[in-house]
Each structure stands twice: as structure tokens, then as C-alpha cells.
Amino acid sequence: MYYCKNCGEPYMSDEAVLCVKCGAGKGLGTNYCHNCGKPVTPETTVCLSCGVPCYTPVNNNANADAKSKIAAGLLGIFLGCFGVHNFYLGYTTKAVIQLVLTLATCGIGAAVSGVWGLVEGILILTGSINVDGKGLPLCE
């Protein structure tokens, strides 16, 4: 079992990416041990209750699976008509719709999906769209 490092609640499944109680991404936080759920201080390197290492990243938003906000925004602006930014972020259904709209109309629909991609690219860069398809926050 894995516990939320932000609030100490146990995750419902191993596949969970967000805590259902506080909404923190899996592995984010410094208040609780991920192994036993007991309170720890941010400076703690080893949990005194269970002995498991409590490594805290320098950037609390650091996540190995986090997608780049800048990359997604630029992909949306320059390649949005093909849905590349949505493929990158994991919004596969939306990406396929954009791709089919462009290709099935022999490029005529590219204007529509291009504007759609441009708007989404700008929304990503301004922070209005700030999570990927798994619900993980985008990194800078």
C-alpha cells in the first residue's frame, strides 16, 4: 500500500496518480511517509516509524512523468492541426479527431483544426490547461 505524502491517506489502488482526499499527485508532498502514512518533517531522510527512506525532491512539483508545458504549447501552436500536442499530453481521442479532421478533408479541415490547436496551445502556455491526460500537473 502507498500513502499520500501530502495528507497521509492511503491510495485506493497502485495505479492511482492523484490522492482522492487532497488532490496531490502521487509522490508529491513532504508531510507523511509514503510507506506507513506516519507524519514526518520535510527534512526527514528516513522514516522513524518504518525505516523506509523518505526522499524529497528539490522541486516539489518534480515528477518523472510530468509533461512540459512549453513543449505542449509550442506543439499546439505549430502542429495543432495534426493534434500532436494532444497526443503528447495523452488526450488521444481529441488528438485523433484533430488528425482525422485534417487528413480526411484533404487539408481543407486543417484551418479549423489549426485554429483549434492554436487556441489550445495558447491556453496551455497561459496555464488554463495545466494537466495532462492522466491528471498530472504540467511542469515548466
Q: What is the 3-state secondary structure (H, E, C) of 62-81?
A: CCCCCCEHHHHHHHHHHHHH
Residue 10 bridge partners (DSSP):
3
DSSP string, 122-135: HHHHHTSS-B-TTS
Q: Return the pLDDT at 58.
A: 47
Confidence of residue 62 (pLDDT cuts 50, 70, 90): low
CA angle 66, 67, 68 (to 5 degrees): 120
Q: Return the pLDDT at 30.
A: 86
Whole-model pTM over 0.85: no
pLDDT at residue 68 tops 80: yes
Q: What are phi and psi of 66, to 5 degrees?
A: -65, 135
Cα–Cα distance, 6 to 61 (Å, whole number): 12
**Given CA atoms 123, 128, 131, 137 in this order, what sign does their dihedral have?**
positive
